[in-house]
């Protein structure tokens, strides 16, 4: 697909605006937002409730379309794709982790992990099962593989959801409040998993209200009133393998 | 696609109640069609096979006066007659030896039991009839308490004899013994003559080598010509419309069966339509429930086609299970119908078999109906966006017109508000379930309306027109004063009239020559101001004694031929005499069929038989059936003892009005039973559908129910709400179905069945039926809502409020 001039960026948003029709009135949620994320970055999206954080994620994953602006993700102009194209694109390019896990309740954890591979037509039948077990093992759930989501804890469900998000080895992971429904200890476990994935080269965007977690993420973007109010980088010494320069940009 | 298959299987298995409901709804619809098609094919096939084995005649006639052997030989010489056979039939009284009470029966004989030619009778067990030894029809032992080995006393023509029953016989092919109301005994010629004093044949049947309609009609005309020359009258006797000619490959009652199964088939289609609506509702609800799952699947890469395929598999699975369930049920139902007719028509049981055509149609319906019903919801499913799957987890509700109206009615108890609000939560779903329940109600009320109409037509309506209690027909014309005088000498008789009833043909005056398509009618000559008949004139007027050749025709005849007031008709009697008559009125008569009514004196004059008649109509002291039968027998004996031969049947078949009413109603009872079976299936489908809708309503309101329980609602309150919802939906459907069922029942009774059975029915609204359906729909609603109500009560606060 034709990309923009910044082909190195994994996410490139230009002048993103999004309004919703609420009872006949157009309510702007995103008011002209630009964002660039490089491959391998771990980015936290923070900000007050109702200011557009989840909407921003929906723009990136193609779940929603901008009223105006361009969304280029992994070189693909997401904002121009049809629903059909988006579904296929998502399966191969993005792994989504939801706040409420969103595992299919009638399938086992292993079957949930296999599902995206089947949709994308990737890997052979045997290979899918093996890969699913490897991913579950990575998240320390291989012994729960054949259980239904309702039979495991919230933390285990979220780990299974992460394994599912990794099923097709997408370069980009998007997580919307992934620890919002978990206790602090479990949240810590999940976060450590994310850190490990970033170390392995994944790009990660995570919406979070947890200030403690956000502080540990190298780049923090604050959304306020539909625009990026702050885009700051933490000091590089925490991520010794990541050569991103410490940079802090205030936007007013 | 193993995960998709796994999802489909889990969706089916994890919600077994829903799966069973959807499968049952489809299966019942397919079963209904299979029952109708399979039943029709099996019954028609059995009747046709066994009718062929009976060697059916082409022409069968009742003759007056009876024929001799010599006359039969003359008939055999007529072109188109390959075989001729004479039969004898007479009414008798009988009782088991040692009993005191006499009962009526029929005794039959033929030229040679061991050399039968047509309409064969088989010896089931024992001996053929012989000297003073008679046979009895099969099932007489169970129906009438007399069987092989019994000794009976027989009384006829003032003679009483003791006879032994030494054999059991059965007419080959379909023969409705149960409708006769009395047993049939079989005697040889000598015994018959000894019993009845008659050795001549009052029934004659003929057959050609190969049947051909035009040739048979020509043969019939030739026979009639011969009868004219020898002074014999004849009428057709072939069931069901007293036809003279019936093609041998068309069994008796074929037209009735076809009409009956057409009506049942229409009801079967309605059941399928109901099933389609319910499946639409169910699949729509499944997809609604799984919106989040569909969104998630799309979020992780499922294309719309893949989503469609997954839910298509689910619907297909419903269809497969339904097909598997409906085939044996439909087969058993068809077999049940077949057995019903086998017993009714005293046929041989060919054994169980599945009708291939019915199975094929059932499978197609079971598979196609859910797919058809699910197409729109499946399309909706593919269009669900990921964004729709991102749930809000608070309580949501509608703010439509109904809710706005309800919330303004502050004085209404909250439980009533909740019931209304919950019931109309999903308008589309309510629309389809109401459509289903209304259809069920309309069909059910229609069936009951038809039943009430037939009971009215052949009950109160009939007796309001036919005011006599007893009627006899004589083999010859007799002096009216003599007939009436003999009748009035019976102490049970309060009044007596004589009429002249003659077979004839009628054609428009403009048609110069007789044709085979001329209307075959009966002409009733009766007193203009008599007491036995109260005409129900629909158009024009009744005749009066001063009228010269005025005729009132029946509605049946008017409808059949398109004749009306002012029409001039040429009426030709059995002797070939032709006269022109003017139609002055059209009357309704459920018994008379194609008939013309004229002043008795005019008719007597026209046929040259002044002062004579051939039928007697009598009123008795009481209207008890037993009194009527006793008077009929006493009068028959009185006439026979005075050398006045009484015909075995009256102008309307039976000799008492009670028997006429019963026979007419009985012929409809099987129709009503079949319609009732379909009505029950419909009611069950409606109940299953309602239960499904209420279950879905409860599932959607889990969180709401949890909140109610968290603020103090007891289980009983929750159950009451669910039941209230169901009853409300049921009552609404009753209110809508009731006015719709009236024209439906009217059309079915006065057009559909009347045309099919050649019987003019009068419609009567079934108030009892309306109340019965209200009661039934309430019960169905309570039962249908009991399971979801129980499920609602079991919802725990913790489960419903946590994700």
Q: What is the pLDDT of residue B565?
A: 94
Q: What is the pLDDT of residue A82?
A: 84
Q: Is the pLDDT of residue B396 over 50?
A: no
Q: Is the pLDDT of residue A246 over 50?
A: no
Average pLDDT score over chain A = 86
Per-window interface: A 163-182 vs B, CB < 8 A: 164-165, 167-168, 181
Confidence of residue A84 (pLDDT cuts 50, 70, 90): confident
What's the rounded mean pLDDT across residues B102-113? 86
Q: Which of B123-127, B421-425, B478-482, B715-719 has the lowest mean pLDDT?
A: B421-425
Q: Do B298 and A104 lie within an 8 Å CB cutoff?
A: no
Cα A30 from Cα A58, distance rounded (Å): 12
Q: Do B303 and A119 lie within an 8 Å CB cutoff?
A: yes
CB within 8 Å of B626: residues ≥ 6 apart: none
Q: What is the pLDDT of residue B465?
A: 94
Nearest to B90 by CA among B231, B198, B238: B198
Comparing B659 with B799, the larger pLDDT belongs to B659
Interface residue B530 vs chain A (CB under 8 A)? no
The residue in chain B having the minimum alpha-carbon distance to the alpha carbon of residue A86 is B301
Interface A-B, measured as beta-carbon pairs within 8 A, has a size of 91
Q: Is the pLDDT of residue A5 over 80?
A: no
What are the φ/ψ torsions at residue B489 (nearest 5 degrees)? Answer: -75, -10
Which of B72-86, B222-236, B654-668 has the highest mean predicted lDDT (pLDDT)? B72-86
Q: Hey, of B8, B10, B298, B301, which one would you mutate to test binding to chain A, going by the most A CBs within 10 A of its CB?
A: B301
- Dump pLDDT digits (tens) for B425-466: 777 778 888 888 898 899 889 888 888 888 888 888 999 999
Q: What is the pLDDT of residue A247?
A: 45
Cα A218 from Cα A38, distance rounded (Å): 12
Q: What is the pLDDT of residue A72?
A: 95
Q: What is the pLDDT of residue B414?
A: 62
CB within 8 Å of A71: residues ≥ 6 apart: A12, A13, A16, A59, A60, A62, A77, A78, A79
What is the share, in percent, of chain B residues with pLDDT greater than 70? 90
Cα B712 from Cα B715, distance rounded (Å): 10
Interface residue B802 vs chain A (CB under 8 A)? no
Interface residue A106 vs chain B (CB under 8 A)? yes
Cα B639 from Cα B643, distance rounded (Å): 6
Cα B509 from Cα B530, distance rounded (Å): 29
Residue with tokens 């009256």: B650
**Residue-wise DSSP of B644-667:** -PBPSSBTTBSSBHHHHHHHHHHH
Q: Is the pLDDT of residue B408 over 80?
A: no
Report the DSSP beta bridge partners of residue B526. Answer: B599
Asked whether B664 and B761 are in contact (CB, 8 A), the reply is no
Secondary structure of residue A139 in the 3-state scheme: coil
Q: What is the pLDDT of residue B178?
A: 62
The half-sphere exposure of B159 on its side-chain side, counting CA atoms within 13 A, is 14
What is the share, in percent, of chain A residues with pLDDT greater than 70? 90
Residue with tokens 């017109």: B401
Asked whether B12 and B317 are in contact (CB, 8 A), the reply is yes
Number of other residues whose CB lies within 10 A of the CB of residue B379? 11
Q: Which of B256-270, B534-548, B570-584 has the lowest mean pLDDT?
A: B256-270
Nearest CB to B301 within list A90, A106, A181: A90
Which of B56-60, B341-345, B519-523, B720-724 has the highest mean predicted lDDT (pLDDT)? B56-60
Distance from CA of B317 to the nearest CA of A (A): 17
Q: Is the pLDDT of residue B179 over 80?
A: no
Q: Do B299 and A107 lie within an 8 Å CB cutoff?
A: no
Interface residue B399 vs chain A (CB under 8 A)? no
Q: What is the pLDDT of residue A242?
A: 40
**Spatial strand order in the sheet of A68-73:** A25-37, A11-22, A68-73, A76-77
Nearest CB to A63 within list B306, B383, B387: B387
Q: Do B14 and A106 lie within an 8 Å CB cutoff?
A: yes
Q: Do A107 and B303 lie within an 8 Å CB cutoff?
A: no
Q: Is the pLDDT of residue A120 over 60?
A: yes
Q: Do A61 and B1 lie within an 8 Å CB cutoff?
A: no
Contacts of B11 in chain A (CB under 8 A): 106
Cα A9 from Cα A5, distance rounded (Å): 9
Q: Do B303 and A120 lie within an 8 Å CB cutoff?
A: no
Cα B768 from Cα B776, distance rounded (Å): 12
Q: What is the pLDDT of residue B723?
A: 86
Q: Measure CA B114 to chain center.
A: 37
What's the rounded mean pLDDT across residues B111-129? 91
- Dump pLDDT digits (tens) for B468-506: 999 999 988 999 999 999 999 999 999 999 999 988 889
Number of other residues whose CB lies within 10 A of the CB of residue B753? 24
Interface residue A84 vs chain B (CB under 8 A)? yes
Q: What is the pLDDT of residue B282?
A: 77
Contacts of B298 in chain A (CB under 8 A): 83, 87, 90
Q: Do B3 and A118 lie within an 8 Å CB cutoff?
A: yes
- Dump pLDDT digits (tens) for B354-371: 899 999 999 998 998 888
Confidence of residue B798 (pLDDT cuts 50, 70, 90): low
Q: Is the pLDDT of residue A249 over 50?
A: no
Q: Do B301 and A98 lie within an 8 Å CB cutoff?
A: no
- 3-state DSSP helix/strand/coil % of chain A, to nearest 5: 35, 25, 35
Interface residue B767 vs chain A (CB under 8 A)? no
Interface residue A153 vs chain B (CB under 8 A)? no
- Dump pLDDT digits (tens) for B232-273: 888 787 665 567 888 887 776 676 677 777 777 777 788 778
The residue in chain A having the minimum alpha-carbon distance to the alpha carbon of residue B1 is A118
CB within 8 Å of A48: residues ≥ 6 apart: A224
Confidence of residue A90 (pLDDT cuts 50, 70, 90): confident
CB within 8 Å of B231: residues ≥ 6 apart: B65, B575
Asked whether B334 and B42 are in contact (CB, 8 A), the reply is yes
Q: What is the pLDDT of residue B671?
A: 72
Q: Which of A203-207, B24-28, B150-154 has the lowest mean pLDDT?
A: B24-28
Distance from CA of A115 to the nearest CA of B (A): 6
Q: Do A91 and B300 lie within an 8 Å CB cutoff?
A: yes
Q: Is the pLDDT of residue B556 over 80?
A: yes
Q: Do B2 and A118 lie within an 8 Å CB cutoff?
A: yes
Q: What is the pLDDT of residue A1?
A: 40
Rg (CA), chain B: 33
Q: Do B389 and A116 lie within an 8 Å CB cutoff?
A: no
Report the DSSP beta bridge partners of residue A224. Answer: A227
Nearest CB to A114 within list B3, B293, B304: B3
Contacts of A96 in chain B (CB under 8 A): 299-300
Interface residue A92 vs chain B (CB under 8 A)? yes
Interface residue A114 vs chain B (CB under 8 A)? yes
Q: What is the pLDDT of residue B758?
A: 64
Q: Give the number of residues written for chain B.
A: 803
Comparing B771 with B280, the larger pLDDT belongs to B771
Interface residue A118 vs chain B (CB under 8 A)? yes
Q: Which of A210-219, B235-244, B641-650 has the lowest mean pLDDT?
A: B235-244
Confidence of residue A233 (pLDDT cuts 50, 70, 90): confident
Q: Which of A83-87, B79-83, B297-301 has the lowest mean pLDDT?
A: A83-87
Distance from CA of B316 to the nearest CA of A (A): 19
Comparing B707 with B518, the larger pLDDT belongs to B518
Asked whether B691 and B725 are in contact (CB, 8 A), the reply is no
Comparing A93 with B433, the larger pLDDT belongs to A93
Cα B76 from Cα B654, distance rounded (Å): 31
- Dump pLDDT digits (tens) for B53-79: 889 999 999 888 889 999 999 999 999
Q: Do A88 and B6 lie within an 8 Å CB cutoff?
A: no
Distance from CA of B16 to the nearest CA of A (A): 13
Q: Is the pLDDT of residue B123 over 60?
A: yes
Contacts of B389 in chain A (CB under 8 A): 102
Interface residue B300 vs chain A (CB under 8 A)? yes
Interface residue A104 vs chain B (CB under 8 A)? yes
Q: Do B10 and A107 lie within an 8 Å CB cutoff?
A: yes
Number of other residues whose CB lies within 10 A of the CB of residue A10? 22
Nearest to B487 by CA among B609, B644, B718, B371: B644
The residue in chain B having the minimum alpha-carbon distance to the alpha carbon of residue A114 is B3
Q: What is the pLDDT of residue A199?
A: 94
Interface residue B272 vs chain A (CB under 8 A)? no
Distance from CA of B389 to the nearest CA of A (A): 9
Q: Measure CA B548 to chain center.
A: 42
Q: Is the pLDDT of residue B393 over 50?
A: no
- Give the helix/strand (H/E) hosting B407: helix B401-408
The residue in chain A having the minimum alpha-carbon distance to the alpha carbon of residue B391 is A100
What's the rounded mean pLDDT across residues A242-246? 41
Comparing B759 with B121, the larger pLDDT belongs to B121
Q: What is the pLDDT of residue A4?
A: 45
Nearest to A167 by CA among A212, A213, A119: A119
Asked whether B22 and B374 are in contact (CB, 8 A), the reply is no
Contacts of B391 in chain A (CB under 8 A): 100
- Dump pLDDT digits (tens) for A45-56: 999 888 889 889
Q: Is the pLDDT of residue B410 over 90?
A: no
The residue in chain A having the minimum alpha-carbon distance to the alpha carbon of residue B306 is A119
CA torsion B257→B745→B770→B281, rounded to 10°? 80
Q: Give the number of residues written for chain A.
A: 252
Comparing B26 with B124, the larger pLDDT belongs to B124
Interface residue A107 vs chain B (CB under 8 A)? yes
Asked whether A7 and A56 are in contact (CB, 8 A), the reply is no
Asked whether B491 and B623 are in contact (CB, 8 A), the reply is no
The residue in chain B having the minimum alpha-carbon distance to the alpha carbon of residue A121 is B1
The ipTM estimated for the assembled molecules is 0.74
Interface residue A61 vs chain B (CB under 8 A)? yes
Confidence of residue B803 (pLDDT cuts 50, 70, 90): very low
Give first-to-last CA distance, chain A, whole Å: 35
Contacts of B10 in chain A (CB under 8 A): 106-107
What's the rounded mean pLDDT across residues B650-672? 82
Asked whether B438 and B736 are in contact (CB, 8 A), the reply is yes
Distance from CA of B1 to the nearest CA of A (A): 6
What's the rounded mean pLDDT across residues B590-613? 91
Q: Do A115 and B300 lie within an 8 Å CB cutoff?
A: yes
CB within 8 Å of A200: residues ≥ 6 apart: none
Q: Do A83 and B14 lie within an 8 Å CB cutoff?
A: no
Nearest CB to A115 within list B3, B14, B390: B3
Interface residue B803 vs chain A (CB under 8 A)? yes
What are the φ/ψ torsions at residue A133 (nearest 5 degrees)? Answer: -65, -35
């Amino acid at each position: 697909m034709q990309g923009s001039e910044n082909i190195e960026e994994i996410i490139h948003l230009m002048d993103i605006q999004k309004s919703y029709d609420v009872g006949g009135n157009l309510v702007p949620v995103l008011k002209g937002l630009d964002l660039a994320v490089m491959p391998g970055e771990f980015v936290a999206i923070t900000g007050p409730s109702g200011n557009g954080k989840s909407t921003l994620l929906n723009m990136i994953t193609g779940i929603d379309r901008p009223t105006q602006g361009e969304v280029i993700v992994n070189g693909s102009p997401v904002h121009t794709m049809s629903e059909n194209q988006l579904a296929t694109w998502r399966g191969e390019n993005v792994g989504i982790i939801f706040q409420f896990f969103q595992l299919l309740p009638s399938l086992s954890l292993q079957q949930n992990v296999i599902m995206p591979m089947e949709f994308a037509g990737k890997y052979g039948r045997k290979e899918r099962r093996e890969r699913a077990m490897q991913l579950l093992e990575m998240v320390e759930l291989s012994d729960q593989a054949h259980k239904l989501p309702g039979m495991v804890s919230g933390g285990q469900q979220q780990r299974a959801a992460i394994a599912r998000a990794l099923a097709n080895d997408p370069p980009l992971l998007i997580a919307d409040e992934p620890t919002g429904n978990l206790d602090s200890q479990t949240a810590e476990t999940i976060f450590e998993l994310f850190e490990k994935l970033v170390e392995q080269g994944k790009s990660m965007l995570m919406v979070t209200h947890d200030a403690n977690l956000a502080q540990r993420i190298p780049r923090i973007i604050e959304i306020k009133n539909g625009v990026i109010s702050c885009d700051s980088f933490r000091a590089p010494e925490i991520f010794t393998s990541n050569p991103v320069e410490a940079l802090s940009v205030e936007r007013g | 696609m193993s995960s998709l298959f796994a999802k489909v299987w889990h969706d089916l298995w994890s919600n077994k109640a829903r799966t069973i409901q959807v499968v049952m709804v489809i299966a019942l619809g397919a079963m209904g069609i299979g029952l109708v098609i399979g039943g029709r094919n099996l019954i028609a096939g059995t009747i046709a096979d066994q009718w062929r084995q009976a060697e059916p005649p082409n022409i069968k006639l009742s003759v007056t006066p009876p024929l001799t052997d010599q006359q039969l030989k003359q008939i055999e010489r007529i072109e188109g007659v390959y075989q001729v056979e004479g039969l004898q039939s007479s009414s008798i009284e009988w009782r088991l030896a040692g009993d005191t009470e006499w009962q009526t029966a029929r005794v039959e004989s033929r030229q040679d039991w061991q050399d039968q030619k047509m309409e064969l009778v088989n010896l089931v067990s024992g001996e053929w009839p012989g000297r003073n030894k008679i046979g009895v029809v099969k099932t007489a032992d169970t129906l009438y308490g007399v069987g092989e080995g019994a000794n009976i006393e027989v009384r006829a023509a003032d003679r009483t004899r003791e006879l032994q029953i030494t054999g059991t016989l059965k007419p080959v092919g379909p023969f409705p013994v149960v409708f006769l109301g009395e047993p049939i005994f079989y005697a040889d010629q000598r015994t018959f003559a000894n019993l009845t004093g008659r050795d001549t044949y009052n029934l004659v049947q003929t057959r050609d080598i190969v049947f051909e309609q035009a040739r048979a009609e020509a043969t019939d005309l030739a026979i009639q010509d011969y009868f004219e020359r020898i002074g014999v009258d004849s009428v057709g006797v072939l069931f069901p419309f007293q036809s003279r000619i019936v093609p041998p490959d068309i069994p008796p009652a074929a037209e009735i069966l076809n009409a009956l199964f057409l009506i049942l088939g229409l009801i079967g289609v309605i059941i399928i339509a109901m099933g389609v609506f319910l499946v639409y509702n169910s699949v729509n609800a499944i997809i609604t429930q799984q919106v989040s799952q569909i969104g998630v699947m799309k979020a992780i890469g499922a294309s719309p086609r893949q989503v469609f395929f997954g839910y298509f598999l689910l619907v297909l699975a419903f269809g497969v299970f339904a097909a598997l369930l409906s085939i044996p049920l439909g087969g058993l139902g068809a077999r049940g119908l077949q057995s019903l007719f086998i017993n009714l028509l005293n046929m041989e049981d060919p054994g169980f078999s599945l009708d291939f055509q019915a199975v094929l149609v059932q499978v197609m319906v079971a598979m196609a109906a859910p797919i058809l019903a699910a197409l729109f919801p499946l399309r909706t499913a593919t269009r669900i966006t990921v964004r729709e799957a991102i749930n809000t987890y608070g309580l949501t509700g509608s703010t439509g017109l109904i809710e706005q109206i309800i919330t303004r009615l502050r004085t209404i108890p909250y439980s009533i508000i909740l019931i209304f609000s919950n019931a109309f939560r999903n308008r589309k779903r309510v629309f389809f379930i109401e459509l289903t329940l209304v259809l069920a109600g309309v069909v059910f009320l229609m069936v009951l309306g038809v039943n009430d109409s037939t009971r009215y037509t052949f009950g109160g309506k009939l007796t309001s027109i036919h005011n006599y209690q007893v009627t006899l027909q004589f083999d010859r014309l007799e002096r009216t004063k003599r007939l009436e005088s003999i009748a009035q000498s019976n102490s049970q008789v309060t009044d007596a009239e004589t009429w002249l009833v003659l077979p004839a043909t009628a054609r428009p005056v403009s048609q110069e020559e007789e044709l085979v398509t001329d209307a075959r009618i009966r002409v009733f000559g009766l007193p203009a101001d008599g007491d036995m008949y109260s005409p129900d004139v629909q158009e024009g007027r009744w005749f009066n004694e001063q009228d010269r050749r005025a005729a009132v025709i029946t509605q049946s005849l008017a409808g059949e031929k398109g004749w009306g007031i002012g029409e001039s008709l040429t009426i030709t009697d059995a002797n070939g005499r032709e006269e022109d008559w003017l139609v002055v009125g059209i009357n309704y008569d459920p018994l008379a069929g194609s008939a013309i009514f004229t002043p008795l004196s005019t008719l007597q004059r026209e046929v040259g038989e002044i002062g004579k008649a051939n039928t007697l109509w009598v009123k008795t002291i009481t209207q008890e059936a037993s009194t009527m039968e006793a008077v009929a027998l006493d009068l028959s004996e009185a006439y026979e003892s005075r050398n006045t031969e009484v015909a075995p049947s009256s102008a309307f078949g039976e000799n008492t009005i009670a028997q006429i009413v019963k026979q007419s109603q009985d012929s409809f009872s099987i129709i009503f039973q079949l319609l009732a079976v379909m009505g029950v299936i419909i009611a069950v489908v409606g109940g299953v559908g309602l239960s499904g809708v209420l279950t879905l309503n409860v599932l959607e309101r889990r969180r709401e129910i949890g909140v109610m329980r968290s603020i103090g609602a007891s289980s009983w309150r929750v159950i009451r709400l669910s039941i209230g919802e169901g009853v409300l939906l049921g009552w609404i459907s009753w209110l809508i179905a009731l006015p719709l069922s009236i024209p439906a029942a009217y059309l079915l009774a006065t057009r559909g069945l009347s045309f099919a059975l050649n019987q003019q029915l009068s419609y009567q609204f079934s108030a009892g039926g309306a109340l019965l359906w209200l009661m039934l729909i309430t019960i169905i609603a309570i039962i249908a809502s009991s399971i979801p109500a129980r499920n609602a009560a079991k919802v725990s606060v913790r489960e419903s409020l946590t994700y």
